[in-house]
Amino acid sequence: MTNPSAPPAPTAPARGRLEHLALPIAAVSGVAALLAIGISLANRPGPSVEPARVEALEQRLSALQPVQEQLRALQPLPQRLQALESGPLAQAGQRLGAVESGLSETRQTVGALREQVQSQRSDREAVERAANARIEEAERAFSQRISGAEAQIAQRVAAAEAALGPRFAAVEETMRQRIAASEAAAQERAAAREKALDERFSALEARESRLANAEQRLSRLIASAGVETALEAGRPLGQALSGLGGEAPAALRRYAENAPPTEAALRLSFEDAARAARAKAEPANEGQSVWESAASRLGNLVTVRRGENVVWGDSVSGELEAARRALEAGDLPAAIRRIEGLPEPVRAPMNSWLEQARGLVAARGALGELRSGGQG
């Protein structure tokens, strides 16, 4: 600490500034001395001097004039320095001293803090070492406890597996059996359902088939009814046959464009055909006596029968009469059979009628087959 009553001594910074100023002052002083020496040498009589050297010296002197001016400007510097040393520099020195003392105290405080930090660091390191040791010990203890717990858990798991293994196996076997039974029952139900569905589908298919057959039979019956109507009416069967849906029998196709014979027309034309047949059956009267001619005529008029056999009389007339009665009764096939039993010369006049009757019978037979096929 500095004494405030003592005059302030120049401080180290002030002395440093003066030392910095001493070098230029000494340089200026040397230059002035050189100038003085040059002037004195110039005024001294002596040997002759070269003009060039004199000119050079003059140039140097002229160059040194600004230096002289600077020196004149520097002449009041000592007084100013003294004033500064006694005034602001002294105060600055005092302040610098106070700052230096504060810095010294600060350095001491910082040193103490460093020592304290160092001691705390060492204490912290000791605490860290102790903590690390405790942590390592705790880790070892925990690892030992964990290893023991793992061993116990493994033992318990093994014991549980050993105890529960048979139970799990039994449960699995039971579940497998139940699943197998469920699958078998499901398969049986599925098979029964599939069988029932198949039966229902078969029934539906059969029903559809029956319906289709019924429709076909109905259409054939309707068409055959139209054919029968046209056949009985004696009209061509072409339009009626087109409704059958297939190829008609040959017995019906022959009347597709031509009108078929009717039973009424056959009855009407039967007498003329029978008369022509009787005429063919009468024997010739040439060369016969009167009695023979009379007997022949009587035989044509009277016929004696024993059942279906002719005992006496005209057998041709009997057959024709039987055919007529069958035709009147509506038995056209019987009438045809009667006529077919006649001798060929007698039957020849009735061939046209017989052909028409056969065609009508054949057409009716084909129509009956169509009906039976439609009703089957």
* All residues at 6 or more sequence positions from 113 whose CB lies less than 8 Å from its CB, including other chains: none
Per-residue pLDDT at 195 exceeds 70: yes
Contact 252, 368 (CB under 8 A): no
The confidence score (pLDDT) of residue 361 equals: 93
Tell me 257's DSSP state.
S
Per-residue pLDDT at 20 exceeds 80: no
Per-residue pLDDT at 238 exceeds 90: no
Please tell me the distance from the alpha carbon of residue 320 to that of residue 288, in angstroms, as a whole number.
26
CB-based burial, 206-235: b 16+ in 10 Å, e otherwise = eeeeeeeeeeebeebeebbebbbebbeeee
* Residue 240 domain-assigned (yes or no): no
Q: Which of 76-80, 159-163, 272-276 has the lowest mean pLDDT?
A: 76-80
* Residue 98 domain-assigned (yes or no): no
Tell me which residue has tokens 């398969």.
187
Mean pLDDT of the chain: 76
The confidence score (pLDDT) of residue 297 equals: 52
What own/partner pairs with CB < 8 Å and gap ≥ 24 does 9-15 have?
A: 9/93, 10/85, 10/89, 10/93, 11/89, 11/92, 11/93, 11/96, 11/97, 12/96, 13/92, 13/93, 13/96, 14/84, 14/85, 14/89, 14/92, 14/93
Both tokens of 118, joined, read 């160092």
* Residue 54 domain-assigned (yes or no): yes
Domain of 301? Answer: 261-375
* Residue 70 domain-assigned (yes or no): yes
How many structural domains are present in the chain? Answer: 2
| pLDDT tens column, 107-154 | 888 888 888 878 888 888 888 888 888 888 888 887 888 888 888 888
The confidence score (pLDDT) of residue 288 equals: 46
The confidence score (pLDDT) of residue 261 equals: 92
The confidence score (pLDDT) of residue 287 equals: 47
Which residue, 57, 86, 115, sits at the end of a domain?
A: 86
Can you point out the beta strands (E) in 7-82?
none
* Residue 31 domain-assigned (yes or no): yes
Helix (H) or strand (E) run with residue 312 in it = strand 309-312
Tell me which residue has tokens 């078998």.
184
Per-residue pLDDT at 218 exceeds 50: yes
- To the nearest 10°, the Cα dihedral for 314, 318, 321, 327? -140
Q: Which of helix, strand or coil describes residue 363?
A: helix
Mean pLDDT of the 30-58 span: 63
The confidence score (pLDDT) of residue 325 equals: 93
* Residue 47 domain-assigned (yes or no): yes
* Residue 167 domain-assigned (yes or no): no
Mean pLDDT of the 273-300 span: 61
Q: Which range, 150-159, 312-321, 367-376, has the best average confidence (pLDDT)? A: 150-159
Which residue, 44, 67, 86, sits at the end of a domain?
A: 86
Which residue, 86, 104, 126, sits at the end of a domain?
A: 86
Per-residue pLDDT at 14 exceeds 70: no
Q: What is the pTM of this model?
A: 0.41
Please tell me the distance from the alpha carbon of residue 322 to that of residue 318, in angstroms, as a whole number.
6
Given pLDDT bands bounded at 50, 70 and 90, which one contains residue 181?
A: very high
Per-residue pLDDT at 272 exceeds 60: yes
Per-residue pLDDT at 47 exceeds 60: no
The confidence score (pLDDT) of residue 286 equals: 44
